[in-house]
Amino acid sequence: MSRNSDENYGALWLLTPTVLLYVATFFVPIIMLGVLSFARFEMSVTTIGFYFDNYIKIFSDGITLKIFFQTVRLSLVITFWCLILGYPVALMMRSCSPKMKMVLLFCVVSPLLTSIIVRNVAWLLILGRSGIINDTLIQWGLTSKPLPLMYNEFGVILAVVHVYLSFMVLPLFGALNSINSSIEEAASSLGAPSWRVFLSITLPLSLPGIMAGCTLVFILSMGVYLTPVIMGGNFVLTLPMLITESVREQYDWPFASAMALMLLLAIGFMVILSSGVQKLVGRR
Amino acid sequence: MSSVELKSIVKKYGEVTAVASIDLSVESGEFVTLLGPSGCGKTTTLRMVAGFIRPTSGTLSIGDVDMTGVPPHQRTVGLVFQNYALFPHMTVRKNVEFGLKMQKVLTSERGPRVQEALELVQLEALGERMPAELSGGQQQRVALARALVIRPDVLLLDEPFGALDKQLRDHMRVELRELQQKLKISTLFVTHDQDEALSMSDRIVVMSEGKVSQVGKPTEIYEKPQTRFVADFIGRSNILVGKVESKGKTINAEGLILPNKGNVVAGAEGISVMIRPECVEITQSGSKATSTSADVKGKVTASIYLGSIVQYSVQINKGPNLVVTQNNTGSENLKNLTVGDDVDVSFPDSAIYILPG
Ligand SMILES: Nc1ncnc2c1ncn2[C@@H]1O[C@H](COP(=O)(O)OP(=O)(O)OP(=O)(O)O)[C@@H](O)[C@H]1O
Ligand SMILES: [Mg+2]
């Protein structure tokens, strides 16, 4: 036993690069954010200190808080659609042949393999005012004016769901795959029709996958920047956009830091909430 | 009335034939075991009875009702898996109650019935535990209670004790058989363990390569195997191939002269003769002369100590090699036998069994 742990400690130095990387890219910036968020920004001059200006501004300027909640709502909607669309895919991946599984997996992951620009240009060609869909609809006389499929929430949600679906499907598939199918068969032999087996057995047993997928997609959605910029065309504002703007246009790092911390807190809150839910259900 | 009846059931997976035309019945209250080597189609057969696999052809009835195409949840069968397959997110009580809920049994009635089922398997104290908090044996008992509580037409078990250690397995075997007899529940049991099959069953169905090799009581299966396969598969056995000698009185089995007990016609060849190793007696040459039908001499070529028995390999002079087992009674005679010893070999006429066909 002790020999074993000795060996483990011996291998610890292998972690050094990773630890350094984390310290450099995670902890240091967070500490800097924390310090900056309490600084004062006046006449383009940043004064380090302990001021609540930025936080007061968040809650009182009438727009930041609104956009924050809009970002949260958008992320929840995206997470919801990823779950609704991803669950059947994960279910199918579990039950189909290994070959079909690879095909499905590739389809789900394919957006991640495409560059963000290519992806969004593709959406433009499909959803734009003279994109494939609108062209076809107009040609068939189904509509006279192009439908607003882009530069609105719909476009943003669609494009983000498309990219992040894989982050939902993979944990879901993992969770579903770890359910021994004889458990479901036992339920069915005890008289449960397939919908009942799904609700009473499959769904609750896949809960860890659901929570993992939802948390992951939510976190990613809270931080997504480029896709809403392209797909929303300034009609859909999110907190990351505000942060970028604050830094790039106003050079107001302290306010940007405060907003970034707020984003981080919201994410932390969600993570705690989801693990809480899981514990609660697990105990039942 | 038969609880389960399979008529010419066939299951093919493309080119692979998992089950090739099986006829089988479980009478009301009977304990029938499907016994056979790995891959012979036992699980496939059982899963067809449960409804998870649809037979390629043939008919299946449960309680004299045709059930061939009926989905599993509309059959009243109790299923017990080797891996228990308990619902990990439900307490023991909820696990057992599940089937009653599905049958829409009134809430007021469910409580007592769950309690009764738990008492049946002596787990009434553990109702509030989660499956993960139980030992393997306890989990399997919960699985049994869960299957029994719905009062199934037939209880189906697929190697239910396969994951338990030997002692517990022997214990559960007795317990299950007692329970089955008490409840008089029709049972179809799958195993590849012949001890399990021989000790528990009313009838054994020996399967080989998707076909039924022999159906019979445990004693019939062991003592009067109908095929070479069954003789080989059940227990240890010496199977000699012989030919009836000209006068028809004796059989020359690989050099060993045996009485023609089956009255096989003179000149017949390729007769399979079975002699169970435990029926053969060996003694150190020249010790005491026991005189039985076939008095022959041989030499011990191998000896394997198995605890309660010792298994010898004896090369008969100008004859075949026989496997002989002796009970380990600790007698001096037994202890002195070692490889290379000359021995007198004897067995009663009753030990000779001529396989039909
Ligand atoms: N889904 C399937 N596709 C193709 N062949 C299958 C399938 N299921 C089973 N088989 C084949 O059918 C045969 C019988 O399988 P089965 O599982 O019934 O064996 P078994 O008697 O239960 O064996 P074991 O004692 O190892 O459990 C095997 O040769 C197996 O390879
Ligand atoms: Mg099997």
DSSP secondary structure string for all residues of B32-73? EEEE-STTSSHHHHHHHHHTSS--SEEEEEETTEE-TT--GG
Rg (CA), chain A: 23
Q: Taking the model in full, what pTM does it have?
A: 0.84
Tell me the shortest Cα–Cα distance from B10 to chain A, in angstroms: 22
> What is the spatial distance between Cα A124 and Cα A118, in angstroms, rounded to a whole number?
10
Tell me which of B233, B264, B283 is where a domain ends.
B233
Chain-centre distance of CA A279, in angstroms?
22
pLDDT of A164: 95
Tell me which of B208, B233, B258 is where a domain ends.
B233
Give the count of beta carbons closer than 10 Å to the beta carbon of residue A132.
Answer: 11
CA–centroid distance, residue B45 to ligand 1 (Å)? 10
Residue B292, pLDDT > 70, answer: no
**CB-based burial of residue B284 (10 Å sphere; 0-12 exposed, 13-18 middle, 19+ buried)?**
middle
CA–centroid distance, residue B81 to ligand 2 (Å)? 10
pLDDT, average across residues B295-323 = 88
Beta-carbon contacts of B13 under 8 Å, excluding residues fewer than 6 positions away, are none
Q: Are residues B228 and B244 in the same domain?
A: no
Contact B88 A183 (CB under 8 A): yes
Tokens of B50: 């449960």
Q: Are residues B44 and B177 in the same domain?
A: yes
Q: Are residues B204 and B124 in the same domain?
A: yes
Residues lower than pLDDT 50 in chain A: 1-2
pLDDT of A263: 93
Among A190, A205, A284, select the one facing B102 at the smallest CB separation. A190
Q: What is the pLDDT of residues B240-277, one digit of tens each?
A: 988 888 777 888 888 888 888 777 777 778 888 999 99
Q: Are residues B159 and B226 in the same domain?
A: yes
Q: Are residues B204 and B260 in the same domain?
A: no
Q: What is the pLDDT of residues B9-31, one digit of tens each?
A: 999 999 999 999 999 999 999 99
Give me the CATH number covering residue B345.
2.40.50.100
Chain A residues with beta carbon closer than 8 angstroms to that of B76 = 191
Parallel, antiparallel, or unpaired: how do β-strands A45-47 and A40-42 relate? antiparallel
DSSP-assigned states of every residue in B114-154: HHHHHHHTT-GGGTTS-GGGS-HHHHHHHHHHHHHTT--SE
The answer to whether the CB of B38 is under 6 A from ligand 1 is: yes
Q: Which residues of B touch A (CB under 8 A)?
A: 50-52, 71-79, 81, 83, 85-89, 98-99, 102-103, 143, 146-147, 150
Tell me the shortest Cα–Cα distance from B290 to chain A, in angstroms: 58
Give the count of beta carbons closer than 10 Å to the beta carbon of residue B16.
Answer: 8
**CB-based burial of residue B350 (10 Å sphere; 0-12 exposed, 13-18 middle, 19+ buried)?**
exposed
Give the count of beta carbons closer than 10 Å to the beta carbon of residue B177.
Answer: 17
- In this structure, of A230-239, B97-106, B119-128, B153-162, the range with the lowest mean pLDDT score is A230-239
> What is the spatial distance between Cα B150 and Cα B155, in angstroms, rounded to a whole number?
10
Q: Are residues B184 and B247 in the same domain?
A: no
Contact A192 B98 (CB under 8 A): yes
- Which ligand 1 atom is at minimum distance from the Cα of B190? 22
A30, containing H or E segment: helix A28-37
Q: Are residues B116 and B229 in the same domain?
A: yes
Q: Are residues B155 and B286 in the same domain?
A: no
Chain B residues with beta carbon closer than 8 angstroms to that of A196 = 73, 102
B335 — pLDDT class (breaks 50, 70, 90): low
The residue in chain B having the minimum alpha-carbon distance to the alpha carbon of residue A283 is: B89
Give me the CATH number covering residue B221.
3.40.50.300
The answer to whether the CB of B11 is under 6 A from ligand 1 is: no
> What is the spatial distance between Cα B48 and Cα B61, in angstroms, rounded to a whole number?
11
Q: Are residues B210 and B284 in the same domain?
A: no
Residue B291, pLDDT > 70, answer: no
Contact A63, A79 (CB under 8 A): no
pLDDT of B287: 63
pLDDT of B290: 53
Nearest residue (by CA) to ligand 1, atom 13, is B18
Total count of domains within chain B = 2
Parallel, antiparallel, or unpaired: how do β-strands B238-244 and B250-253 relate? antiparallel
Q: For residue B76, give the nearest of B25, B152, B139, B6 by alpha carbon.
A: B152
For residue B353, give Cα distances in angstroms to A211, B175, B205, B265, B268: 66, 34, 21, 16, 16
- Which ligand 1 atom is at minimum distance from the Cα of B47? 18
Q: In chain A, where are the structural domains located?
A: 58-283
Q: Are residues B207 and B287 in the same domain?
A: no
Q: What is the pLDDT of residues B75-117, one digit of tens each?
A: 999 999 989 999 999 999 999 999 999 999 999 999 999 999 9
Using CA atoms of A108, A111, A112, A114 in order, give the dihedral in degrees to the nearest 10.
140
| Domain membership of residue B273 as a residue range | 238-354
Q: Are residues B259 and B149 in the same domain?
A: no
CA–centroid distance, residue B82 to ligand 2 (Å)? 9
Alpha carbons within 13 angstroms on the beta-carbon side of residue A40 total 8
Nearest residue (by CA) to ligand 1, atom 10, is B18
B83: amino acid identity, one letter: N
- Which ligand 1 atom is at minimum distance from the Cα of B192? 25
> What is the spatial distance between Cα A118 and Cα A276, in angstroms, rounded to a whole number?
39
- Determine what percent of chain B is predicted with pLDDT higher than 70: 95
Chain B residues with beta carbon closer than 8 angstroms to that of A187 = 87, 98
DSSP code, position B106: -
Tell me which of B202, B233, B264 is where a domain ends.
B233
Contact B356, B226 (CB under 8 A): yes
CATH architecture of the region A58-283: Orthogonal Bundle (1.10)
3-state secondary structure (DSSP) of residue B30: coil
B159: amino acid identity, one letter: E
Q: Are residues B111 and B229 in the same domain?
A: yes
